[in-house]
Amino acid sequence: MRLSSRSTAPKVSTARRNPAGTGTTPGPILGRMDGDTHDRIILEGMVFHGRHGVLPAERELGQPFVVDVELRLDLRPAGLSDELAKTVDYGEVHRLAKQVVEGEPAGLTETVAERIANATLEEHPIVEIVRVKVKKPNVRLGDTVLEGSAVEILRRRP
């Protein structure tokens, strides 16, 4: 069996955008393909008490909500400089998620996720994409108790 010398792997440009936004700098693309960054900051398993839901008991008693947030942004400037000002302080993202979940009640988990995504994009302009997952653990449906139900959304900066 003879192997072809032609590669079927996708070609990747070796030019990358200059941080100043002008021209290109030679070298491999490490964090970007097709215009999206592959660098991520991930916050998982943030648990807050909220009063969201369509049932009166959900509004009165409240329940735990588990939130995951993934931010996609170019982490190279922070990684090279070791400066917090060149990235997103994930303590601030935690604060936003907590403020939304523990704040004004919403009927739908989708609304909670949307509020977190919108607040994150609004307060952190260097974030290109945000993924938010909001889970309600131990959900009762009739005579069945689920491990949980969740909503996950992905929002891109316009």
Query: Helix, strand or coil for residue 156?
Result: strand
Q: How far is CA 110 from CA 38, 66, 122, 147, in A?
A: 25, 13, 18, 18
* 136 given a catalytic annotation: yes
The 10 Å CB-count burial string (b at 16+, else e) for 46-70 is bebebbbbeeeebeeebeebbbbbb
The residue from 11, 133, 135, 136 that is catalytic is: 136
Question: Which residues are catalytic, by number?
Answer: 136
